[in-house]
Amino acid sequence: MKTKRLMALLLVSVLAVGLIGCGKKTNETDSKNTNKTEGSKDSEGTKDSATDNNKESEDEASDPSGSGSENSDNANASDDWNWPLPEKKELSMWLQWTCNYATDPNELVTIQKLEEHTNVHINWTTVAGQEAMEKFGLMMASGNYPDILRGAESYYTGGLVQAVEDGITLDMTEYIPKYMPTYNALRTSIPRLEKDTVTDDGRLVGVYTLASNFGEIRGERVWDGLCIRKDWLDQLNMPLPVTIDDWHEVLTAFKENFNCEAPLLIGASNGYDLSHNFLSAYGVLGEFYQENGTVKFGPLEDGYKQWVQLFRDWYAEGLIDPNFTNNDATFSGSPDYIGTGRAGASAAIWGITADTYKLQGYSTDENFFLSGVTTPVLNEGDIPQMGSSTNEMTKETLVITKNCKDVELACRWLDYWYDHDNMVMQSVGIEDETYYQDETGEYYVTDSVYERVEAGEYPSVQELFSTYTLMTSAFGLYNWQMMNVTARGNRALEAYDFWDQSHFDLTLPTHITMTPEDTTAFNSTYTAIKTLVQENTIKFITGAQSMDDYDNFVKTLYDYGIEKCIGYKQSALDRYNAR
């Protein structure tokens, strides 16, 4: 079979289908979206480490069928329900989703198959990512919302518990064990996962999408990190940088030998990228983090000051993007800089590494190659730390609204999304049509898919797959390994091997939650603090403000009430640890 043919075409449309293989990634508290409280993902939080998550999944194997559950109610509930239903029924659902080849998910092949298997027709309301917040607010104001919402924790002011308290969505504590046996068995199969899917008071206020490797519950591989022009390093006979000192040597060489205007592309107006690369080498993060269970705030710590001084020096030497405060070159792509030789390193997602920018026409250099590289450390042998993780076992939530007239049907239909066979279909399509398995059980894309791409019917394998599945908008039992199938043989996957070495010891758990009262108090105080930090950090780095003023900057943070904010976070962490 042609398992490696046309791999170059795979990445041409990576950015068009979203952040490939990724879960929701947040970067500290977003002042524009202050709706994270009980039952919602706290925006600073991440998992302990990729290693810890995957080890936990392996040590306590989950049963995708739900047959391993000891809950008798689950077994009884499962026996009382059969698919497909004898007569057609309908549900409605709100979903963030876009596709270049369809205007309604019901046009997708696997969604049509799902309707055949269940005899349940879904009336979809879909929105694009950039308009999701506004459309969600308008929907809430109208009171006309569908039966099921995906990702409400990102949009509802006050989070999922508040949505329940406000009578918008249903408390699922009784419904999940009774009507969702497959999900409940998976949810309770790993202690950490069971802890993460309940609130501080033990309630189930939402149904979490669960990340898996073809059904085995485990966090995704780390799909973003630093990347660097490996072909430039080869020309200079320099190895991949490991330490901060290594990076200084490499960036200096890039500037001197390739005349690039931004040897290091930061891609963030606060001076550090979404994963806090470079900053984490000093044992701190940009905002709230933990050290052995104690919550701290980065800018108060000496490590933050050391990092500021480092970037101040690099800025003066012309080693970092001189326009970083205005340059919107984010981690999802920087073709105008990296692809054209204006920059030599940046943060990125795996899909744009390797020779993607050459294939897209941004680089005419035949040797162009963008390699992943480990998160920088101060000293050789230090453990690389990341400040925001993409390896979580839990992803976006699903909630049922008060408008739902058939709660059991909604629960049963959602539970079907945790079925193993449906997971395979919703991730790699139809057997012998889009995928096949070899004698070892490995999944491969079929020849017919490659032939359709080669014939010009679709620009890439992933574009073709977007006519079959919801891709990264899928929910239920989410199979992140599908990207390794569609991109099999592509060297961009090598980036994972570098980024997976990172740990997340500094990050707060994703699912710590503040009470509604604490959230209100936190937001009223922290908004001004965040602005103060960003403005002063930029001034320190660019040289507009003397480092002699740093101690006064720290004093002002205390005057603004940062200790109270730390206290709110500490209380949330303590409650989480007590679950």
Residues of the chain with CATH 3.40.190.10: 7-221+391-496, 223-388+514-579
Alpha-carbon gap, residue 427 to 406, rounded angstroms: 28
Is residue 541 within 8 A of residue 271, CB to CB? The reply is yes
Pure H helices in 361-417: 407-416
Amino acid at 567: G
Is residue 449 within 8 A of residue 461, CB to CB? The reply is yes
The pLDDT of residue 363: 82
- To the nearest 5 percent, what fractions of the chain are helix, strand and coil? 40, 15, 45
Q: Is the pLDDT of residue 15 over 50?
A: no
Is residue 57 within 8 A of residue 217, CB to CB? The reply is yes
Alpha-carbon gap, residue 196 to 194, rounded angstroms: 5
The pLDDT of residue 328: 61
3-state secondary structure 287-311: CEEEECCEEEEHHHCHHHHHHHHHH
Is residue 362 within 8 A of residue 20, CB to CB? The reply is no
Among the listed residues 307, 24, 6, 49, the one whose alpha carbon sits nearest the alpha carbon of residue 151: 24
Alpha-carbon gap, residue 389 to 26, rounded angstroms: 9
Among the listed residues 475, 401, 408, 392, the one whose alpha carbon sits nearest the alpha carbon of residue 176: 408
The pLDDT of residue 335: 78
The pLDDT of residue 2: 40
The number of CA neighbours under 13 Å toward the Cβ of 290 is 24
Q: Is the pLDDT of residue 40 over 70?
A: no
- Mean of the per-residue pLDDT values of the chain: 85
The pLDDT of residue 556: 98
Please write the tens of the pLDDT for every residue from 289-341: 999 999 999 999 999 999 999 999 999 999 998 888 877 665 555 777 888 88
Alpha-carbon gap, residue 180 to 207, rounded angstroms: 10
Residue that wins the pLDDT comparison between 64 and 439: 439
> DSSP code of 508?
B
Alpha-carbon gap, residue 507 to 286, rounded angstroms: 11
Q: Is the pLDDT of residue 69 over 90?
A: no
pTM, full prediction? 0.79
Hey, what CATH topology would domain 223-388+514-579 get?
Answer: D-Maltodextrin-Binding Protein; domain 2 (3.40.190)
Alpha-carbon gap, residue 554 to 551, rounded angstroms: 5
How many angstroms separate the most distant Cα atoms in the chain?
A: 76
Mean pLDDT of 75-92: 81
Among the listed residues 167, 157, 140, the one whose alpha carbon sits nearest the alpha carbon of residue 36: 157
CATH homologous superfamily for the domain 7-221+391-496: Periplasmic binding protein-like II (3.40.190.10)
Alpha-carbon gap, residue 418 to 377, rounded angstroms: 40
Residues 6+ apart with CB under 8 A from 318: 255, 263
For the chain, how far is it from start to end, CA to CA, in angstroms?
A: 50
Alpha-carbon gap, residue 108 to 101, rounded angstroms: 9
Alpha-carbon gap, residue 153 to 162, rounded angstroms: 10
Place of tokens 């899917």: 197
Alpha-carbon gap, residue 78 to 65, rounded angstroms: 11
Instruction: Provide the pLDDT confidence category of residue 220 given band limits of 50, 70 and 90.
Output: confident
Q: Is the pLDDT of residue 204 over 60?
A: yes
Q: Is the pLDDT of residue 452 over 50?
A: yes
Is residue 303 within 8 A of residue 282, CB to CB? The reply is yes
Paired residues of 94 in beta bridges: 125, 149
- What angle is formed at CA 34 by the lines to CA 31 and CA 36, rounded to 5 degrees? 135
Rg (CA), the chain: 24
The pLDDT of residue 557: 98
The pLDDT of residue 131: 94
Output the six-digit token pair for 84. Answer: 């497909």
Please write the tens of the pLDDT for every residue from 507-526: 998 888 899 889 889 999 99
Is residue 509 within 8 A of residue 45, CB to CB? The reply is yes
The pLDDT of residue 95: 96
The pLDDT of residue 390: 61
Output the six-digit token pair for 318. Answer: 């012309």
Q: Is the pLDDT of residue 401 over 70?
A: yes
Is residue 409 within 8 A of residue 119, CB to CB? The reply is no
Mean pLDDT of 413-439: 97
Is residue 340 within 8 A of residue 362, CB to CB? The reply is yes
Is residue 437 within 8 A of residue 443, CB to CB? The reply is yes
Residue that wins the pLDDT comparison between 36 and 265: 265
Instruction: Provide the pLDDT confidence category of residue 35 given band limits of 50, 70 and 90.
Output: very low
Q: Is the pLDDT of residue 146 over 90?
A: yes
Mean pLDDT of 188-216: 94
> 224-229 and 477-479 as β-strands: parallel, antiparallel, unpaired?
unpaired
Output the six-digit token pair for 56. Answer: 């936990």
